[in-house]
Amino acid sequence: MKFQDYYTTLGVARTASADDIKRAYRKLAKEWHPDRHPPHKRQEVEVKFKAISEANEVLSDPEKRKRYDALGEHWRHGQDFQPPPGGGGTGGYRTVDPEEFARMFGGARGGGGFSDFFAQMFGDMFAGAGQAGGRDGQPRGRRAAARGQDAEAEIELKVGEALLGGKRSFGLHMGLPCEACDGEGHLGPNTCPACGGLGRTQRQKTIELSIPKDARDGQVVRLRGLGGSGPGGAGDLLLTLRLVPDDVYRLRDDDVEADVVVAPWDLLDGTRVSVQVPGGTAEARIPAGTRPGQRLRLRGQGLARAEGGRGDLLLVVRVGLPETLSERQQQLLRELGKDSTPVRGGAAKA
C-alpha cells in the first residue's frame, strides 16, 4: 500500500501550528465531503475524504503527531518492516511485508493478529496499523459487520420549494422487514408466506425530507439508514434533487425567476410589494413607469451556489386585474380601451 504523508494530504508544512492544521482540514473536508459530489464520483471522493480525515486525526492529536514525526513513513499503511543497521547477512534480519508478518503472528491483517500484536506491545501507537477508517472516518478495531449497500434515487423538487425551504413528503419503494414474521423469514417451522422466507417485503414508505437550505439542482442528499440492509445495519439513501419549474418560480441560468403580479394603475405611480425569499420576506419597489415583463433583481435572494453564496431572484412584473370588478370599473376599462393602441406581447405577435 502506498505511504500517505499526512502533511502532504492536508497541504501543510511539517512546522504547521495546530490552528494551521485545523484550517486546512476544514477547507478540504468541505471541498471533498461526499454529499457535495454526484453519485458517479462517490467512490473516488470517499477515498479522498477518508484520507483527509485520517491525516487530521493524527496531526491534530499532539501525542499521535509526535509519534508520527518520530517514526516517519514506517508509522503504518503497509510500509515494509526494515532491518536495523548492521542487521544484514544470512543469519541476520530480513524484510517482511505486513501480510507475511500477520501470518507469522496469527490472524489476518486487520482481523486481530497483526494489529493486536502491536497494540499489546506498544499500546495505541500501532493500534490502527493497516486498518482503514470505518464509516464517517471513525477508526475500527476488529473487522466490523458489513453494512448494507447505499441506494440511489432521484426526486423532482419544485423550484419554489427549494428556494423557500420547508418539508416535503414523498413515497419510495424499498425492501423493509416483513411485518408478518418480524424479518425472520419463517413462522415457527414453516416458511413465512408473506415474504416467501426472505424476511423482507417490498413496500412503499413515505419519507419526510427537510429541504436543505443550500438545495440546488443536482445536489445529492444523504439519508442515513434508508439504503440496503446488511448484517451491520442498513446503508444510506443518496437522493439527487432535480429542480422543476412551478407556476411562479423557474430557473434562469444560476438565478431564479419569479412572477410578481400588480394592477395596471400601480405601474403609473409605482408601488411596493412583499416577496417571499429564503428565510422570510423582502420588500421590492416597483418604480413608476415600469413596463409589464420588465425584470427587477433582488441580489443574493436566489438558490445556493455550489461554489458558495447565493444567486439572485429576478422578479418579472406582470399585470393583473382584481378577481371581481364592479359595473363602473368595467365601464371605465372599456372606455380606456376605445382610444388605446393594441397591446401585444409574448406569443401574440405585435
Average pLDDT over residues 111-127: 43
- Pick the range with the lowest mean pLDDT from 62-76, 159-173, 224-238, 294-308: 62-76
How far is it, in rounded angstroms, from Cα 152 to Cα 234?
A: 13
Is CATH 1.10.287.110 what the domain over 6-137 is classified as, yes or no?
yes
Task: Based on DSSP, count helices (H) and strands (E) in the chain, helices before strands.
Answer: 9, 13
Residue 106, SS3? Answer: coil
> Where does CATH 1.10.287.110 sit in the chain?
6-137
Is CATH 3.30.70.1560 what the domain over 151-239 is classified as, yes or no?
no
pLDDT tens per residue across span 286-314: 999 898 889 999 999 999 888 888 999 99
Task: Record the pTM.
Answer: 0.50
For all residues of the chain together, what is the average pLDDT?
A: 76
How far is it, in rounded angstroms, from Cα 46 to Cα 41?
A: 9
Q: Homologous superfamily of 249-335 in CATH? A: Urease metallochaperone UreE, N-terminal domain (2.60.260.20)
> Where does CATH 2.60.260.20 sit in the chain?
151-239, 249-335
Report CA-CA distances (Å) from 32 to 43, 45, 47, 202, 225: 12, 6, 10, 34, 22
3-state class percentages of the chain: helix first, strand second, coil last, to nearest 5 = 30, 25, 45
What is the pLDDT, as a whole number, of residue 150? 76
Burial label for 60, CB within 10 Å (0-12, 13-18, 19+), is: middle
Which residues have C-beta within 8 Å of that of residue 61, sequence separation ≥ 6?
Answer: none
